[in-house]
A = this chain, B = another copy of it.
Amino acid sequence: MAASIIDVARRAEVSTATVSRALRGLPNVSEATRERVLRAAEELSYAVSPHASSLASGRTGTVGVILPFVNRWFYSQVVAGIDSVLRANDLDILLYNLGDERVHERFFARMPPRRRVDALIVLNLPLSATESESLVSLEVPIAVLGTRIPGCWHVSIDNAEGTSTAVRHLINLGHRRIGMISGALGDPRGFTTPIVRQHAYRTVLAQAGIPYDPDLEAPGNLTIDEGASAMAQLLSLPDPPTAVFAESDQMAFGALRTMGRMGLRAPDDVSVIGFDNHETAELLDLTTIAQPVAYQGELLAQQILDALSGSSEEPAQVVVPTRLVVRGTTGAARVARPRHPSSPRPGPEPDQHSRTTAR
């Protein structure tokens, strides 16, 4: 059996209270006794029982991280960022992967982190009002990435801004027929990011006087394969896009794959821009909107530390900047295109697109 605080107290010839104080480095312990206690603990290779400690103190030394995927690049990067700063502060990470819908439901039905964590970090998970309330009712600090929960700490990027930059980049290159591969729009959980990005995409096009064409929006669900399918769909249009904005690099990769299989090249045939600056983006020479992924995790963890230390009274909201990284998959629109002989003109092209805009 492992040694308990009582054993240490006996050996050091002090009370358990003193042992507890000495071991935790609290003041009001004489150096002499502290050393005696430390030695005794060492000799017995004593370690506190975290459960007993938690039970008595109410603190758990643990932060719950709730996320929709553990195995996707983005989330694993964020977790790494979180881990690096929490670990430095001796906080453990309890992982709640709510990818599966039933797991998600079960989670909110039973609230496993209840009394089990000192704080929560929620990554990009769309929550219903009641679900958010359940989390808030745990009465621990909560830091949220991407989405919003009233009263909680927040970190996010400016998705509208990032998207606008991406689409404007294409417009500035002379493209006017610009497709978008969007992600997880159909997910029943209702991720908000794709909605925001879709809106920004449409807004920028409108601002540039480019008519809206729903055919140019293809759903991709954030995976390589879905991105590939979406691209295939776009390229099979009567009047296919000359440039495509994919809402994630992964989908852009899929798009490039489809192009490759069709014998097309970026940017000669179609320009492609992604989002994230995934580790493979440089490899594939993909132009993209970079966001600091691990750094967002670090920020979330730092917010938790602030909340736990009580140094900040108000939950902060941090928006981290995105950055256009121009690589080889985007290029100037060709003046004359095979299937679309008319040269690009400013302003709408009503005759050509009346079918789609009439929808």
Contact = CB atoms under 8 A, between A and B. Distances in A.
Interface of A: 2, 47, 49-52, 54-55, 60, 62, 69-73, 75-77, 79-80, 83-84, 87, 90, 92-97, 99-100, 103, 110-112, 114-116, 224, 253-254, 256-257, 279-280, 282-284, 294
Contacts of A69: 80
Contacts of A256: 283
Given A47-B110, A115-B49, A87 B83 contact: no
Contacts of A96: 92
A83 B60 contact: no
Contacts of A49: 55, 115
A111 B90 CA distance: 12
Contacts of A77: 71
Given A52-B55, A70-B76, 7 more contacts: A51-B115, A71-B294, A75-B76, A80-B99, A93-B95, A93-B97, A94-B94
A92 B94 contact: yes
Contacts of A71: 76-77, 79-80, 294
Nearest to A253: B283
A358 B2 CA distance: 58
B83 A97 contact: yes
Contacts of A280: 224, 253, 280, 283
A93 to B, nearest CB: 4
Select the residue from A70, A115, A279 with max chain B CB neighbours within 10 A: A70
A50 B112 CA distance: 9
B115 A103 contact: no
